[in-house]
Amino acid sequence: MERTLVLIKSDGVQRGLVGRIMQRFEDAGLKIIGLKMAWVDTDFAAKHYFDLKERKGEKVFKLTADYLTEGPVVAMVLEGVETCANARRITGETQPSASAPGTIRGDFAHHGYAHADKTGRAIRNLIHASGNADEAKIEIPLWFTPAELHDYSTDAQKHTF
């Protein structure tokens, strides 16, 4: 079984979309094995976005870290078959305006990089999902201790695992 980290960012929490977003993953047969709400500080945001400065530069890192720290986030660990790829598919493209209808970002967000640049804010894309299994292996222990991850069976496992 593969695991991935998913964060519902502060805009998703503030807009009351947490339940609807979680439902998308459960509908696809992914199992929630860890779940919490947390306020993130700047130091923790830097740990989470450990390579963003190198990949995108200081400005993007600062905007993204500020976005992650502006309100509470819901963090969850999902488990299932090909969980990273499936969670990313359900989430949609990083830029909401490029996300297909039926994805979380395609259905609940609509702006693009041009709007984010114009307003001087990070792109409001509601959610983070680990990019791949290697990234998930770094991110999950940052957000969850082993005792916070739960092993249990679901009816969906008979059909999806």
Q: What pTM value is reported for the model?
A: 0.94
Which of 110, 111, 128, 159 is the catalytic position?
Answer: 128
- Which pLDDT score is estimated for 155? 87
Q: Rounded to the nearest 10 degrees, what angle do helices 18-27 and 83-91 cross at?
A: 130
79 vs 120 pLDDT, higher one: 79
DSSP structure string for 116-159: HHHHTS-----EEE-SSHHHHHHHHHHH--GGGS-----TTHHH
Question: What domains, with CATH codes, occur in the chain?
Answer: 2-142 (3.30.70.141)
Q: Would you call 128 a catalytic residue per the annotation? A: yes
- Which pLDDT score is estimated for 96? 92
- Which pLDDT score is estimated for 99? 94
Please give the structure tokens belonging to residue 117: 């640049």
11-67 pLDDT, tens digit each: 999 999 999 999 999 999 999 999 999 999 999 999 999 888 899 889 989 999 999
Q: Range with the lowest mean pLDDT among 28-37, 79-88, 111-120?
A: 111-120
